[in-house]
Amino acid sequence: MKTEHRTRCVMDTTDPEIKFDENVTSKDYLNKSFKCPICRGHSETTINTYKHYWISCNDCGNVFRQRKTKYFIPRILPNFISNRIPTRIKRHFFPMKEVIEDESKFYDYYSDASSRGNAKGTKWEGQLNGIKERLGRCGVDLRGKKILDISGGPGFVVKELEGVAKRAVVTEFSQISVDGMKKNLGVEAVKFDYNKDKLHEVIKDKFDIVLINYSINFCLDLKAFVSSLRKVVHDGSVVMVSFVPPTLGCCLRWQHDEYTYNILYHPETVARVFAEGGFDLSCRDSDGSYYYMANRRFNFFLFTIPYRIVARRRHMNINRELIQKNMVYIFKVNEKSK
Chain positions 23 to 42 lying near Zn ion, rule: CB under 5 A, are: 36, 38-39, 41
Looking at the Cβ atoms of 33 and 83, the one nearer to Zn ion is 33
Q: Are 115 and 180 in contact (CB under 8 A)?
A: yes
Closest distance to Zn ion from the beta carbon of 66 (Å) = 15
What minimum distance in Å lies between the beta carbon of 36 and Zn ion?
Answer: 3
Nearest Cα to 211, choosing from 127, 293, 126?
127
The count of other CB atoms within 10 Å of the CB of residue 299 is: 11
Tell me which H or E stretch contains 235.
strand 233-243
φ and ψ at residue 22, rounded to 5 degrees? -80, -15
Quick one: 37 or 154, whose CB is closer to Zn ion?
37
Q: Of 54-62, 104-112, 219-227, 282-290, which segment contacts Zn ion by CB under 5 A?
A: 54-62
Q: Any contact of residue 264 with Zn ion (CB under 5 A)? A: no
Does position 57 interact with Zn ion (CB under 5 A)? The reply is yes
- Cα 204 to Cα 207: distance, rounded to the nearest angstrom: 10
Min separation Cβ 60 and Zn ion, Å:
3
| Stretch in the footprint of Zn ion (CB under 5 A) among 57-65, 135-143, 232-240, 250-258 | 57-65
Pick between residue 57 and residue 330 the one whose CB is nearest to Zn ion: 57
| 267 is an interface residue for Zn ion by CB under 5 A | no
59 is a site residue for Zn ion (CB under 5 A): yes
* Strand ranges of the sheet holding 188-191, from the earlier edge strand across to the other edge: 188-191, 167-172, 146-150, 207-213, 233-243, 323-333, 279-291
In the complex with Zn ion, which residue's Cβ is closer, 44 or 149? 44
Query: Rounded to the nearest whole angstrom, what is the least distance from the CB of residue 199 to Zn ion in the complex?
Result: 25
Check binding of 60 to Zn ion (CB under 5 A).
Answer: yes
Least Cα distance to 60 among 203, 263, 338, 295 occurs for 263
- Nearest-angstrom CA–CA distance, 335 and 238: 12
Site residues for Zn ion per CB under 5 A: 36, 38-39, 41, 57, 59-60
